[in-house]
């Protein structure tokens, strides 16, 4: 396991998290990335930073609670795990803005509410 600090984002490269098929996962502001994707792209790093902003706004615990509940709702709605994942409001915001490396500078608080739909 290797820890790197990339522009105030801590990235831990390892072979266990996230599960295969994913590049990175953000857990309480720490980004875990699979070793084979080292170094992770600026796009991926920005995606995870957007999640960190969302977590901070919702005091972390409410982020995970909301995320889990919304994933279950989306799973019933789409009956497909990947489709459910991509339609979670947090993921919609992160995927839509991951290429805009200036997004977090202009992002307003609780921007996540703009991405809620069909709950």
User: What are the DSSP calls for the chain, one per residue?
Assistant: -EEEEETTEEEEEESSSS-TT-SEEEETTEEEEEGGGPSPPHHHHHHHHHHHHHHHHTTTHHHHHHHHHHHHHHHHHHS-HHHHHHTSHHHHHHHHHTT-TTHHHHPPTTGGGGG----
Residue 4 falls inside a structural domain: no
pLDDT in tens, 99-119: 999 999 999 999 999 998 766
Let me know if residue 38 belongs to a domain.
Answer: yes
Asked if the structure places residue 27 within a domain, the reply is yes
Query: Does residue 6 lie in a domain region?
Result: no
* Segments of the chain with pLDDT less than 50: none
Residue 89's domain spans which residues?
A: 11-115
In a domain, 1, yes or no: no
Q: For position 25, what pLDDT does the model report?
A: 97
What's the whole-model pTM score? 0.92
Has residue 97 been placed in a domain?
Answer: yes
Structural domain includes residue 2: no
pLDDT for the residue numbered 8: 80
**Count of domains in the chain?**
1
């Amino acid at each position: 396991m290797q820890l790197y600090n990339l522009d105030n984002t801590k990235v831990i490269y390892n072979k266990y998290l996230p599960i295969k098929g994913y590049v990175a996962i953000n857990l309480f502001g720490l980004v875990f990335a699979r070793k084979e994707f080292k170094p992770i792209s600026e796009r991926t790093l920005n995606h995870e930073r957007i999640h960190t902003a969302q977590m901070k706004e919702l005091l972390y615990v409410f982020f995970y609670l909301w995320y889990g509940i919304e994933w279950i709702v989306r799973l019933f709605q789409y009956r497909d795990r990947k489709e459910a994942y991509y339609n979670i409001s947090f993921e919609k915001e992160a995927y839509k803005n991951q290429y805009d490396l200036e997004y977090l500078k202009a992002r307003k608080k609780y921007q996540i509410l703009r991405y809620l739909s069909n709950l």
